[in-house]
Amino acid sequence: MVFKSNHPDIEIPQDGIFQYVMSNQKGISDNKIIYLDVNTSKGYTFGKLKSESKRFASGLRDKVGFKRGDVLAIYSSNQVDYPMVLLGTIAAGGKVTPVDPKYIANELSYQLLDSGASILIVHPDLLETAIAASKEINNPNFRIFLFGDNEIRGYKPFRSELIGEREFVPIFYTPEEANSTIAYICYSSGTTGKQKGVEITHTNLVSNLAQIYNVEKDLGTHSVLAGPFYHIYALICCIHLTLIYGATLIIFPSYNIKTFCHCIQEYKIDYVHAAPPVILDLINYPDAKKYDLSSVKIIVSAGAPLSHELEYTFYELFKIRTKQAYDSNNIITGSVQLYNSFNNSNDNFLMIHNVQKIGSCGTLLPNIKVKILSNDGHGNIYFSFLFPGELCVHGPSIMKGYLNNSSAINAAFDKDDFLHTGDIAYVDDQGIYHIVDRKKELIKYKGFSVAPAELESILLTHDKISDAAVIGCYSEENQTELPIAYIVLKSEDKEKHPYLKNEIIQYVNSNVAPHKKIRDLLFIDKIPKSESGKILRRVLRDMTMNEYVEDHGNFNYISLIFF
């Protein structure tokens, strides 16, 4: 049985991204501030954004020979010029691959090579990493430019080099071209340990913007937002939707709870995009009540599951509504918008039988179809409600595929072009979807995906380790999963001295981005595996529940994973 959205289908715009976001559906004045940087007080009005993005496009084309279909990478924390660079590249007919600013050199170089990026625009604080990564790039046309106004070590600011005199006429796309042309290549770790390039077409992104625009009633020209950049959820909900609604996005380069509270009070922020750890920070921050947070009307929680307990506690303290948005590991561009709008009414939060917690619940966006496959191993489709199974999704906002990875594409889509998300869900008779478990093995640390296989591959290069496995252990204290390693030592290293444990942890953590660090390490005599050699992670999770929790007190595990 195929389930459809409660919302009627909408007509999907046939535009390219630049044309759609600049179509000015809200009648925005050219003087309206769209993006504002709190550190520099620099901002972009709607008119300035249109003009400078076109001038940036002309600079790309005229000054460095950037062609239609070329790839530009952005490696930066939140920065006020980020949206202009993004949209200017799109106007020039290029593709953008946003890079996680927490990436270390080998992760950055892999993404640059895999995406085929010819230009990298980098934040000055990340220049050393970018230089190290660029040593692996053999493209003689590869260039690095800087955000900001200062030249550093011979690397020049993009504004002095790539802002043209003329306003480029943005590339026009026919409906067929918009449907097939890649705009963004967003990288996801995947279960194999290597990042996978998720191909998002112009139609994918425009469809998702139109879907959300049709149902999101809490945003408007009056809205003042806060939220992150660089991953697909942020690109859609912070950069693009802000522009479409004519709202104002407040940009602060790095997050800390004090700055966050100050900005809410100072700029009267009323709409916030935040992962559950931010909500936890607000609950635990003793000075939060000293700030005037009354402007906030709603927080949209995404990137990880928000537990009922945390949601309830947050509402009791601040009387602020929360919504949950679900996106499956960067492979759906927000296609399943799961609204659980909590406002202290039990009717708005539906519990499930025999499941400890709910990850999200809500309704489908327009034009989205879903089928739920049984877990009986035969791929049967359930024909009734309330039975959990793998969530499979179809719609115009589903990614085109994985870059340079046909095997991953074949594994992700079935013959009917439904994307298999790997998440376990059920739908009730009201059309409300509940994410209750996961099929995938990714660990979700504060909204970031961590691939166990990647950490295991590093562990196995240590000369004292013969076998290893990594699982996620959910921490109530931190409201996130933590990567925990199990290792088998070689025979000559059976004495499990504390120094060896610390040595191994440091060995792994020095080779990965901060969010991928293992948080604890346990010794085991043998890694449980199936006959085919697959690690039986469920066995390790049960061991963790039975032994590790008892010893450490502050962990428990629940099998939930989200974008």
Q: CATH code at 398?
A: 2.30.38.10
Entry pTM: 0.80
Distance CA 393, CA 325 (A): 15
Whether 465 and 501 share a structural domain:
yes
What pLDDT shows up at residue 186? 93
CATH number of the domain within which 483 lies: 3.30.300.30
Describe the chain by its helix, strand, coil percentages, rounded to 5. Answer: 30, 25, 45
505 within some domain: yes
Are 485 and 541 contained in the same domain? yes
In a domain, 235, yes or no: no
| Residues 159 and 97 placed together within one structural domain of the fold | yes
Say if CB 357 and CB 308 are below 8 A apart.
yes
Query: Domain range for residue 106?
Result: 42-172
Question: Which domain-ending residue is among 418, 438, 458?
Answer: 438
Answer yes or no: do 417 and 524 share one domain.
no
d(Cα 17, Cα 343) in Å, to the nearest integer? 35
pLDDT at 105: 95
Structure tokens at 293: 């947070």
Side chain identity at 546, as an amino acid letter?
N
Q: Which residue, 420, 438, 456, sits at the end of a domain?
A: 438
What are the structure tokens assigned to 375, written together? 């877990």
Based on the fold, state whether residues 401 and 472 are members of the same structural domain: no
What is the token pair recorded at 486? 């199990």
Residue 98: inside a domain, yes or no?
A: yes
Q: Are residues 46 and 167 in the same domain?
A: yes
123 shares a domain with 53:
yes
* pLDDT value of position 391: 87
Q: Are residues 521 and 431 in the same domain?
A: no
Q: What pLDDT shows up at residue 448?
A: 82
Residue 62: half-sphere exposure toward Cβ, Cα within 13 Å: 15
Beta bridge partners of 197: 187
Whether 421 maps to a domain, the answer reads yes
Task: Let me know if residue 17 belongs to a domain.
Answer: no
Count CB atoms within 10 A of the CB of residue 314. Answer: 22
How many structural domains is the chain composed of?
3
pLDDT for residue 333: 39
Q: Is 454 found in the same domain as 430?
A: no
- The answer to whether residues 546 and 452 belong to one domain is yes
In angstroms, the CA 267 to CA 250 distance is 8
Give the pLDDT score at 309.
66
Look up the CATH number of the domain holding residue 166. 3.40.50.980
Q: Which one of 438, 461, 486 terminates a domain?
A: 438
- Is 71 in the same domain as 142? yes
Q: Do 400 and 484 share a domain, yes or no?
A: no
Residue 475 lies in a domain: yes
Q: What is the pLDDT along the chain (563 residues), one digit of tens a residue?
A: 788 988 999 999 999 999 999 999 889 999 999 999 998 999 999 999 999 999 999 999 999 999 999 999 999 999 999 999 999 999 999 999 999 998 999 999 999 999 999 999 999 999 999 999 999 898 889 999 999 999 999 999 999 999 999 999 999 999 999 999 999 999 975 444 578 899 999 999 999 999 999 999 899 999 999 988 878 888 999 999 999 999 999 998 888 999 999 999 999 999 999 887 788 889 889 899 999 999 999 999 876 667 666 788 899 999 999 888 876 544 443 334 344 444 433 222 222 222 223 345 678 899 999 998 875 544 555 545 677 788 899 999 999 999 998 888 888 899 999 998 887 788 888 888 877 666 767 788 887 878 787 888 889 888 888 888 999 988 888 888 899 999 988 766 656 566 789 999 999 999 999 999 999 999 998 888 765 467 888 888 888 766 544 444 333 222 111 21
Whether 122 is in a domain gets the answer: yes
In a domain, 130, yes or no: yes
